[in-house]
Chains A and B, each alone.
Chain A
Amino acid sequence: MAVTLPEPVRVSPLIKTCRWTALGLGIWWGTKRYAALKAEEDEIRAYNAKMKPIWDAEKAAKAAASNREQMIYLAKESGTPIPEGF
């Protein structure tokens, strides 16, 4: 390994300030965006968690109603007597 590396470059002050300002701006922007997106996502998650039991109940009711209708149709087609109050 006899490669001689060149001397480090003296970077102009403008480039240095721009770089580190860009880094700082990026960190600020990242934290700001993250906070905003997290708030939105938390709202959506809370809404879904709140509505889940309601939606589950609605789905179960719908499934029970359609199941009942199908059983009645099957009973009619196959001639089975339908019990009272079904």
Chain B
Amino acid sequence: MAQSVMKLVKQVPVLVELAKPKLSTFVKYAKVELRPPTPAEIPAAISDATVKVANLQKQTFRDWTVKEATINAVVGAEIFCWFFIGECIGKGSIVGYQV
């Protein structure tokens, strides 16, 4: 038992070296795509949001192509999923509330 644990511990630096290129690719994409909005971007986001709300009232979404509609639906679903990830973080568990 102790010997297999020692073998595993020796493997850790090897695994870290293997993971480094994948990790660096992930970080390269994450730095651009997953970054939170800078304070300068927030007014642009709010004006964009008002445009979208006006579009919603004018019902321009009825002129979307099916491809546009699926893309927008997927983006909306992804934003919802971030809410659920936040809820999992807040409740401290993945599946249920462990009271």
Contacts and interface: CB of A to CB of B under 8 A. Distances in A.
Contact of A30 (B28, B31, B41, B90): B90
A30 B92 CA distance: 8
Interface stretch (A5-13, A46-54, A58-66): A5-13
Contact of B37 (A10, A20, A29, A38): A20
B37 A26 contact: no
A37 B83 CA distance: 19
Given A14-B45, A16-B36, A17-B41, A26 B75 contact: no
Interface residues of B, number: 34
Interface residues of A, number: 32
Interface in B5-45: 25, 28-29, 31-33, 35-37, 41-42, 44-45
Interface of A: 5, 8-20, 22-34, 37-38, 40-42
Interface of B: 25, 28-29, 31-33, 35-37, 41-42, 44-46, 48-49, 52, 75, 78-80, 82-92, 97, 99
Given A22-B83, A30-B88, A33-B91, 14 more contacts: A9-B33, A14-B44, A18-B45, A19-B82, A20-B37, A22-B86, A23-B83, A26-B86, A27-B89, A29-B83, A30-B92, A31-B90, A33-B90, A37-B99
